[in-house]
Amino acid sequence: MSKISRLHRLLSTTSHLGCKAVSQYAIYQLGLRTGFFRTRTSAPHLENLQQRLSMQGQSLFPLPSTQEMEFSSSKTLPALLDSANALLAGHITLFDGYPTQLDLSPHTPLLHWSDLERAKAYPPEDIKLVWEPARFSWAFTLARAYYITNNPRYQITLQHYLAEFDRLNPPYLGINWTSGQEAALRIIALCFAHQMFSQGHESSAELLQNIRLAVALNAARILPTLCYAHSQRNNHLISEAVGLYSAGLLLKGHPSALKWKRLGWKTFSQAIKDQIEADGTYIQHSANYQRLMLDEAIWLTVLARNAGEELSRPLQKKLAASTTFLYNQLDLISGHSPNLGHQDGSNVLPLTEADHLDYRSTLQAAGRLFLQQDLFPAGAWDEKSCWLGIHPQPAGAQSSGGPLRLGDDHDWASMRAVSYHSRPAHADQLHVEIWHAGRNLALDAGTYLYNAPEPWCNALRSTRVHNTITVDGLDQMLPTSRFMWLDWANAQILSSDAFSITAHHDGYRKLGIIHQRTLRRIPPANWEINDLLQSETSQPHRIYLHWLLPDLSFTLTDDSIRFEDPAFRLKFSNSMKGDAQCSIIRAGTWLAGQIDLDVTHYGWFSSTYAVKQPALSILYVMETKLPLTIHTSWQFTSLSESSE
């Protein structure tokens, strides 16, 4: 890269991220290089630390009676006990889709975490596959099973895994100590476990003391590197703030407890104010990270109320707006949300055995706390609220919708159109989702892996695998790293009513091209999408229209594709009446209409992290001068009723 290019990138990055974030990151790098963090997180004197801990932790939230929990979780109790019993045998399912042995080893040398971070000495596999079991989400499962059954096997198993983690990951050595956020998530899980096991008839005082010791060690790891979390302006900062606040409450009497509690409260308040916009949009433009943020806000709010503290009204208003925003994206039949933005499989408050992609348990709890209403009728999604002592509220009058969503609960569609005030996750302007009877038929490909060898290093964030137009094979924005885009593409809503949405974006402005899209509902359940591309020049361009569908059986006839389950037809046409190639790719392999194109990333769907499954990529491609209009029709009628 030339000096001019490096300077341009530095100036653009600073402009996009802001001087404060860049300076906080510079402070973090300085702390690594000078050895400051090594000094601040040196090997602790565990015996001295044990003596500084209270012999009992503070109660964090009111517990339900075992009768209440047995009633609330009656339908999910068998699944909970199955998960807990699998842990007894060392089996765990990561991200609710990746079954494996519970492995707490760091897969790296036991060097100080700052040395590993400086050298980027990461394990050969994706680092998240190492971090995920070390988040202790399995502690929620064992603690819940123990609280309901009082079976000592679950206590013994937790004690075993906690000792195993300590043995394999001595304080501040190895990759599991490189991230303050990972330490914070361990604190939340351990605080919940402490609350559950402290109520048992036969709870081990040694186990509870070891939990408190682990919480203290993890809190001490967070504090020195908060500058890094500040530089990210995302869920890292919220997680670390909540971790500090939780540790400060549990370890009341520890010399640093009051400092942790106050700093956690202050940092959380600042982060919520900064990271949630007035309309509820979350700064990371990710449905899964918005759920993560709400789960952590729920946890902190419950703990704070039990401690006699309340979030300020402006913060509660922000969290209420965020709850409503996420609810408005929800498919009310399945409880799933569009796979918007980064999807890393995070489920930091797993207090129900429901599918972790079902957001109703989080939204029910958030609705009760921040909107003072139940968003859903009574159901399995009440279990999270019950565990945390969040009481039912009057039924709300919420209806899912918004300016970028059309249809009803059975058939609906949405379009992505945003003007960025914070860094984008995916290059997905004007991406369209279509849902039918609880099934997502026009899919967002998801994420799959952040840290993998090419070609799978966060590759599904690109424009080409979203349900939108790509020009000349270029992304809408300039990729500069796995998580960074420059030259942000911004969209503007031109019109919106009950039956149509029209918007355009400027991501191809350097080519002199504007892409305008209209999504139109044709009652009762059909959809039309019109893409208009206009150019300032007469130069020809290669235009790719992409749709990602589940792996369905199909019949292709010219520019029409019929599907049987569910029964619908996808039909294309264009204003030039010129040659256009309609192609279908499944799992990176051509099924029909092969053209000169690398299709490695096409025809894949990742519902959660580290999992990808075959899907159908439909490509409608033509090379032509502009202006051009491409018309796509989704017809949900029986095949016998469909006309050619």
Query: Rounded to 5 degrees, what are φ and ψ at 115?
Result: -70, -40
Question: Averaged over 354-383, what is the pLDDT?
Answer: 94
Per-residue model confidence as pLDDT tens digits over 281-323: 999 999 999 999 999 999 999 999 999 999 999 999 999 999 9
pLDDT of residue 1: 46
Region label for 588, one of left (φ > 0), alpha (ψ between -120 and 50) or beta (otherwise): left
Burial 505-531 (b: 16+ CB within 10 A, else e): bbbbeebebbbbbbbbbeeebbbbbbb
Listed range (40-54, 183-197, 565-579) with the worst mean pLDDT: 40-54
Q: Are 203 and 244 in contact (CB under 8 A)?
A: no
Question: Averaged over 547-559, what is the pLDDT?
Answer: 94
Q: Are 553 and 564 in contact (CB under 8 A)?
A: yes
* Region 59-387: CATH code: 1.50.10.100
pLDDT score of 402 more than 90: no
pLDDT score of 11 more than 60: no
Q: Give me the chain's average pLDDT, please.
A: 92
Per-residue model confidence as pLDDT tens digits over 431-459: 999 999 999 999 999 999 999 889 999 99
pLDDT score of 642 more than 60: no
Spatial CA neighbour of 451 closest among 145, 125, 206:
125
pTM: 0.94
pLDDT score of 275 more than 70: yes
Per-residue model confidence as pLDDT tens digits over 217-240: 999 999 999 999 999 999 999 999
**Residues ≥6 apart with Cβ < 8 Å to 114:** 31, 32, 35, 37, 38, 41
Confidence of residue 9 (pLDDT cuts 50, 70, 90): low
- The answer regarding whether domain 405-635 maps to CATH 2.70.98.70 reads yes
pLDDT of residue 639: 45
pLDDT score of 596 more than 60: yes
Task: DSSP for 153-190, please give it.
Answer: HHHHHHHHHHHHHHHHS-TTBSGGGS-HHHHHHHHHHH
How far is it, in rounded angstroms, from Cα 447 to Cα 260? 34
Question: Averaged over 467-487, what is the pLDDT?
Answer: 94
